C-alpha cells in the first residue's frame, strides 16, 4: 500500500514540497543546507537513499557531482531521471540495505532526505550504521534531512499544531535518541519540524 501511495504521489510531489506545509516546512532551506555541506567537483560521488523526484540532489548534479540514487517507486524514479539524465538511478527498497552493485562502493556524501521517518528507530539506527562504512575516509559525510525535533515537547507541540496532517504511523526523529547511539553527530534545526543530522566517516556507533 505504501509503494502504491508513492507511485500515485509522484505527479503531485514537487508541487506539494514547494508549498512547504507539514512535513515539508523549511524545504528550500533544507536544500540550501545540503548544498552548503557538500563540496562538489566532477569527481564527487553522492548516494541518495530515497531520491524521490530528485529535488535534493538535482542542484548537486547540476554542479557536476556523480549521482547514485535509490527509490522503491518506479514513477518517482522516472521523474528523477528527467532531471538527472546521466545519474545512476536504481529501483530498490532501502529497507533491505544497499543493492548488490553498491555494496563495495564508497561515497563523498550519502543523503537520506525525508526517507528514514518511514522506519522505526531501531531500523533507522541499523541503516545509519550500515551507511557509515560506505563514506570515504577523507571528508565523507552522511546527511539526514528529515522531520526532527530537539525535544519530545517540541514534537508534541508540532503534533498539536498540524493536527490531521500528522501521521501517527511515522517515526520522527528526536535528536537525543540518535546522539546517544552515534558520536559525534552535528544537528541543525532548520524549521520548527525539520532538521539536518551530519555524521562523518569517523563517527562511533554504540
Express each pLDDT in 129-161 by its tens digit: 999 999 998 889 999 999 999 999 999 999 999
Q: Looking up cell 524549521, which residue turns up? A: 191
Q: Strands 194-200 and 141-149, how do they pair?
A: antiparallel
Q: What is the pTM of this model?
A: 0.92
Confidence of residue 7 (pLDDT cuts 50, 70, 90): low
Whether 9 shows a pLDDT value over 80: the answer reads: no
Whether 204 shows a pLDDT value over 90: the answer reads: no
Which three three-digit cell numbers place residue 83? 532531471
Q: CA-CA distance, 127 to 147, in Å (whole number)?
A: 17
Catalogue all structural domains in the chain, each as residue range(s) with its CATH number: 2-201 (3.40.50.150)
Q: Please tell me the least confidently modeled range out of 2-6, 53-57, 67-71, 145-149.
A: 2-6
User: Is-contact 193 29, C-beta < 8 A?
Assistant: no
Neighbour count for residue 120 (Cβ, 10 Å): 11
Output phi, psi for 61, to 5 deg: -60, -45
Please state the separation of Cα 20 from the chain's center in Å: 16
Confidence of residue 1 (pLDDT cuts 50, 70, 90): very low
Amino acid at each position: 500500500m505504501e509503494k502504491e501511495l508513492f507511485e500515485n504521489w509522484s505527479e503531485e510531489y514537487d508541487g506539494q514540497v514547494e508549498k512547504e506545509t507539514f512535513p515539508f516546512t523549511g524545504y528550500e532551506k533544507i536544500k540550501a543546507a545540503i548544498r552548503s555541506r557538500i563540496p562538489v567537483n566532477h569527481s564527487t560521488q553522492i548516494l541518495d537513499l530515497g531520491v524521490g523526484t530528485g529535488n535534493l540532489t538535482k542542484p548537486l548534479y547540476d554542479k557536476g557531482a556523480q549521482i547514485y540514487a535509490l527509490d522503491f517507486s518506479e514513477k518517482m524514479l522516472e521523474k528523477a531521471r528527467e532531471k538527472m539524465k546521466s545519474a545512476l538511478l536504481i529501483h530498490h527498497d532501502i529497507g533491505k540495505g544497499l543493492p548488490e552493485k553498491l555494496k563495495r562502493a564508497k561515497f563523498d556524501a550519502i543523503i537520506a532526505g525525508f526517507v528514514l521517518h518511514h522506519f522505526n528507530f531501531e531500523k533507522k539506527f541499523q541503516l545509519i550504521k550500515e551507511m557509515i562504512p560506505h563514506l570515504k575516509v577523507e571528508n565523507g559525510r552522511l546527511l539526514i534531512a528529515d522531520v526532527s525535533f530537539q525535544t519530545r515537547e517540541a514534537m508534541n507541540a508540532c503534533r498539536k499544531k498540524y493536527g490531521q496532517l500528522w501521521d501517527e504511523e511515522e517515526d520522527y526523529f528526536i535528536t537525543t535518541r540518535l546522539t546517544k547511539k552515534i558520536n559525534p553527530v552535528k544537528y541543525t534545526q532548520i524549521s520548527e519540524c525539520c532538521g539536518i543530522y551530519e555524521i562523518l566517516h569517523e563517527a562511533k556507533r554504540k
